[in-house]
Amino acid sequence: MKITVSSTGLSALDRPRLPMIALVVFALALAVFFVFPDRLSLAAYIGIFALFALSLDLALGMAGIVTLGHAAFFGVGAYTAGWLALAGWQEPITGVVISGLCAAALAGALGPFILRLTGLPLVMVTLAVGVFLFEAANKLTWLTGGDDGLYGMTFSPVLGIFEWSIYGTTDYLYVLAWLALAFYGCHRLTTSNFGLALRGVRENRLRMSLLGSSVLAQLTLAYALSAFIAGVAGALLAQTSEFVGLEVLSVEKSIDVVVILVLGGVGHLYGALLGAPVYLLIKDMSKEWNPHAWMIIIGFMLVFVMLVARGGIHGVLHKVIARSRGKLPNGEPR
C-alpha cells in the first residue's frame, strides 16, 4: 500500500508559501499575553500542544511516517523532565534539552526496526509501542508513580531571572519562545537538502533508494528529530504544570495530536499552530458545556475535514487567500 499524505504538499523547490501566517499567528499569540492575562495557563497548554503537533508534522507531513504512537516521545520527555527535577536538576532549559535528547534516543533506537514498515503495519506497530510504554509506566510505579504520577517537583527560574508565577506569565512566554525556536528550525529544515530528500522519500521510497539515498537512515533521523521536539513539548508540560501523569503516554494523546495536525493542515508546519488552539479551545468549551458532547463535536469535525475540507484550516485559508488574489497557485489540487 502506498503512503500518501493528504497535504497539498509543496512542490520540491518552492519556498514555503504564506510565511505571513506564521507571523500573524505569533503576533496573535503575543497579543493573547496582554488580552487574556488570566487565561495564560490554558494558552501555555495550547502552545505545548502546538509544539507537539509541529513535531508530528515533521514525521508525518515531511517524512510520511504515519504514526498513532507519538505520545511515546511526549511522555518520555515529560517523565525525564520530572525525574531530573526530582533528582535535583532544577535548571529548566537544560532539563528540556536533556528530555528532548532522551526522546530522540528512543526514536533513534526504534527507527531502524519499525521504519522499514509502511502503511497499516507501521500504524499498528507505532500504536503497539505507545500502548506498551503506557502499560509499562502504569506497572513500574517505583519509577513513574503509577496512577498518582510524579509530583512535588520545583524548577529554578528561567535563565536565573524569570520566576515561575501562578498566573502563568513566565510559563506562557517560555513555551512561546520554545515554539518559535522549533518552528524556525523546522522551517529551515523543510527548505534544506535533508528536507527535500525527506519529501522525496515520502513521495516514492523506492525511487529515492534507487537514486542512492539511504532511505532508512534519513527516515530514522527525521523520526529522531521529530521525537526530540515531542520530548521538548512533554518536558514543557512537566515544567509548567509541575506534575507528570500517566495520561502523557496515553493513546488518547497520540490521537489528539494527529487530530490537531489534521484539523490545522498536514505538511506545512502552520497546521500545528492553527490546529492546536482550535482543537483545544473547542475541547475546553464543549467539555464545560457537556462532558460527553465534545467527542461528538470533534468526531463530526474530523468527518467534515476528511470529506469536505481536506487540507484542514490551512488548506481553507490558503484557498481563500488564493481566491482573493484571483488565482489558485500551481499544483494545488481542486
Residues at the interface with another protein (CB under 8 A): 1, 3-6, 60, 66, 68, 113-114, 116-117, 119-121, 123-125, 127-129, 131-132, 135-136, 138-139, 251-252, 255, 258-259, 262, 266, 290-303, 305-307, 310
Q: How far is the CB of 189 from another protein (least distance, A)?
A: 21
Do the Cβ atoms of 149 and 93 come closer than 8 Å?
A: no
Q: How far is the CB of 133 from another protein (least distance, A)?
A: 9
Residue keyed to cell 484571483: 326
Q: Which is nearer to another protein, 180 or 216 (CB)?
A: 216
- CA nearest 108: which of 198, 235, 218? 218
Question: Alpha helix locations (H) across 36-70?
Answer: 40-56
Q: How far is the CB of 94 from another protein (least distance, A)?
A: 32
Do the Cβ atoms of 231 and 246 come closer than 8 Å?
A: no
Q: Which amino acid is at 99?
A: S
Q: How far is the CB of 271 from another protein (least distance, A)?
A: 13
Cα(320)–Cα(63) distance, integer angstroms: 27
Q: Which is nearer to another protein, 205 or 239 (CB)?
A: 205
Q: Which is nearer to another protein, 36 or 304 (CB)?
A: 304
Beta-ladder partners of 162: 158
Tell me the chain's radius of gyration from C-alpha atoms.
19
Q: Which is nearer to another protein, 192 or 290 (CB)?
A: 290
Q: Which is nearer to another protein, 51 or 66 (CB)?
A: 66
Do the Cβ atoms of 22 and 179 come closer than 8 Å?
A: no
Burial (0-12, 13-18, 19+ Cβ within 10 Å), 172? buried
Do the Cβ atoms of 261 and 272 come closer than 8 Å?
A: yes
Q: Is residue 108 classed as helix, strand or coil in its secondary structure?
A: helix
Q: Which is nearer to another protein, 15 or 292 (CB)?
A: 292
Q: How far is the CB of 5 from another protein (least distance, A)?
A: 6
Q: Is residue 265 classed as helix, strand or coil in its secondary structure?
A: coil
What's the half-sphere exposure (Cβ side, CA atoms, 13 Å) at 24? Answer: 7
- Long-range contacts for 162-169 (Cβ within 8 Å, ≥24 apart)? 167/37, 167/38, 167/40, 167/41, 168/40, 168/41, 168/43, 168/44, 168/240, 169/33, 169/37, 169/40
Q: How far is the CB of 220 from another protein (least distance, A)?
A: 14
Q: Which is nearer to another protein, 87 or 308 (CB)?
A: 308
Measured distance between the N- and C-terminal CA atoms of the chain, rounded to whole angstroms: 24
Q: Which is nearer to another protein, 2 or 15 (CB)?
A: 2
- CA nearest 268: which of 15, 43, 27, 29? 15
Q: How far is the CB of 248 from another protein (least distance, A)?
A: 17
Q: How far is the CB of 238 from another protein (least distance, A)?
A: 23
Q: How far is the CB of 131 from another protein (least distance, A)?
A: 5
Q: What size, in residues, is the chain? A: 334
Q: Which is nearer to another protein, 127 or 321 (CB)?
A: 127
